[in-house]
Amino acid sequence: MYLFSQLLAMSEMMTGKAIDYFPIILQIAFAVVFVGGMIVMSAMVGPKRKTSDKLVSFTSGIASHGAARQPMAIKYFLVAILFVLFDVEVVFFYPYAINFKSLGWNGFWEVLLFVVFFLIGYFYIIKKGALKWED
């Protein structure tokens, strides 16, 4: 209760722009106290038994096998990068869809040019065989 009354007194002293930040400061303070309290409570209340099962490394429920430094096929990373590249490019269609009436024909031709560049890149990676999994 004392902390709340101090915060209330502090909010009454703030004027103008400083009072606008009070809810944000209050939320951050609450989050820090809550997270800190949960960490302290879990350390105090939680069990402290270390068994051999708890000390084994756990990865998504799958037993690990092999070395972590074994080489991996570059095709996997190439497809992942190409997915991100083309996925991010598609996001640029959203602002056009929102403003397409106000952009008029100039906006249409610019988006059409964007799609042409997009398709040129897509056909280039198809021609190079970047999406073929088997060699």
Contact 78, 49 (CB under 8 A): no
Q: What is the pLDDT of residues 25-79, one digit of tens each?
A: 999 999 999 999 999 999 899 888 878 877 777 666 666 676 767 777 777 788 8
Looking up tokens 């031709």 gives 109
Contact 108, 102 (CB under 8 A): no
**Strand runs (DSSP E) across 84-129, as ranges?**
none
Q: What is the pLDDT of residues 1-27, one digit of tens each?
A: 676 677 666 666 665 677 778 888 999
* Angle subtended at Cα 123 by Cα 77 and Cα 80, rounded to the nearest 5 degrees: 15
Instruction: Provide the CA 48 distance to its chain's centre, in angstroms.
Output: 33
pLDDT score at 113 = 93
Tokens of 63: 């037993």
Mean pLDDT in residue range 82-97: 84
Euclidean distance between CA atoms 28 and 35, whole angstroms: 11
pTM above 0.75, yes or no: no
